[in-house]
Amino acid sequence: MATKQETEPRSTSLLQLNDDVLALIVAQLNVYQQFELTQLHSRLRSIVQSLWRTRVHSVVLQDELLCRASSRHFQAFMLALAPHLERLSCHRLDVRRLRMLSEHCLPGVSCLEWLGDDHEPRRGRVRFVDEDVRLLRRVFPSLRKLKLRGCQVTGKYLHELELLNELCLDDCQYLESQYFRDIFRQLKLRKFDIMEDCDEVNCCDLVDVQLCPTLEHIKIADYHLCMESDITQQLLRLPRLHKLSIYSKNFVFDVLARIARPSNAAAGGIKQIEGFRFSGLLHDYERFFRELSNLRQLRRLEVHGQSEEGQLQCLSDQMLCPLAAQLPELCELHLCGYQLESAAGLLQFVINCRQLRILDVTRSRCIGNAFIGRCLAVLSKQSWRTQPLELWIRQSDINPSCVQNPRYLVSDRSLRIDTKRMTPNIDYMSSVLKFSFVR
């Protein structure tokens, strides 16, 4: 591209392009560059404004984006965004940028993420502290969802964010237990996430969690369950609790025993567990399934294995068959990423679990055509079955002729094979036990 002005006709201007084309160009710039264009010409301002009406409800800010923005320009930029902005995510942003907004108000923002430096703060960096929480209250008066990561907050002023219903505290290692009483008592939280507190020694005592009856989804680590006192029963008695996720690398069985076998289950108020999910490495699946067999009302079971030294972990028929007998209400079974001894264990679920409609064995080995044949034989005898069983299996694990050959009598009435749902769900965090309760 020629760069010397003397070679260019004076009339060659970006503005000779039509609005549609200019909009395509503008859409490929970052949001701060778009703001800069608004200062050049009213036509560009109009195009950017039109784009922003639908495209800047959610914005991510980073220092790199704003490297040439002065304080005045940054404030003008945020005020220009304000009418459209609903969700703001600040990734390792210098907190002094946030403090430039202290005299302003962005009432449209309902969701804020402040993601600070994870472990190693940058040299000379100012950290997000308690007073910045008070600033959030002034600048974002409509805040309903807040995530703080890598901040130096104690929790002292969090209870002042009166409209907050989702709070996530990630790697905030200066939190103090004393402030959680006010947080739970004064906020109508629906979701509380402190799972990645990551400080087992100085973690917070959540003994006052029962003061927040609006909680529906809680994510904690195993050490939160029993600090000064065991809060398991308090958690299970929360009236609206629907999901409880507990991170546990080394105490999976202890957590299961606390939740699956509550000591006063006969008393009223203890919730029924309808779903369970775990993803991770275990070394005693027999014990694991034994604990799971206490969850007699379970309707959904998901267990995702991980390979160890390149090998899938093994599940024997002896482990699976007893479990199948203990979970009569099971509707969905996901056993993904395991080496199975044979198809016999899985078949027991097909036989015993009359409600079973989804059987997911993606990434597991030793299934194949033999299983499908035996499965069909079992299903054909289940005259009470009104819906076909959906089998989710990797396409490479079965012979295509299995689904095409009428000899196998694959019919939609009995068995529906789905080879499309293959994605190993990488969103599942490892070593998390997730319980879902009947509403």
- Contacts with another protein, residue ranges (CB under 8 A): 1-2, 7-18, 20-21, 24-26, 28-29, 33, 36-37, 39-42, 44, 68
Closer to another protein by Cβ: residue 31 or 255:
31
Closer to another protein by Cβ: residue 73 or 240:
73
Closer to another protein by Cβ: residue 9 or 124:
9
Closer to another protein by Cβ: residue 77 or 184:
77
What is the smallest separation between the CB atom of 91 and another protein, expressed in angstroms? Answer: 19
Closer to another protein by Cβ: residue 8 or 162:
8
What is the smallest separation between the CB atom of 68 and another protein, expressed in angstroms? Answer: 7
Closer to another protein by Cβ: residue 67 or 266:
67
Closer to another protein by Cβ: residue 29 or 325:
29
What is the smallest separation between the CB atom of 75 and another protein, expressed in angstroms? Answer: 16
What is the smallest separation between the CB atom of 8 and another protein, expressed in angstroms? Answer: 6
What is the smallest separation between the CB atom of 73 and another protein, expressed in angstroms? Answer: 9
What is the three-state SS of the chain?
CCCCHHHCCCCCCHHHCCHHHHHHHHHCCCHHHHHHHHCCCHHHHHHHHHHHHHHCCEEEECHHHHCCCCHHHHHHHHHHHCCCCCEEEEECCCHHHHHCCCCCCCCCCCEEEEECCCCCCCCCCCCCCHHHHHHHHHHCCCCCEEEEECCCCCCCCHHHCCCCCEEEEECCCCCCHHHHHHHHHHCCCCEEECHHHCCCCCCCCCHHHHHCCCCCEEEEEHHHHECCCECHHHHHCCCCCCEEEEECCCCHHHHHHHHHCCCCCCCCCCCCEEEEEEEECCCCHHHHHHHHCCCCCCCEEEEEECCECCECEEECHHHHHHHHHHCCCCCEEEEECEEECCCHHHHHHHHHCCCCCEEECCCCECCHHHHHHHHHHHHHCCCCCCCCEEEECCHHHCCHHHHHCHHHCCCCCCEEEECCCCCCCCCCCCCEEEEEECC
What is the smallest separation between the CB atom of 27 and another protein, expressed in angstroms? Answer: 8
What is the smallest separation between the CB atom of 100 and another protein, expressed in angstroms? Answer: 19
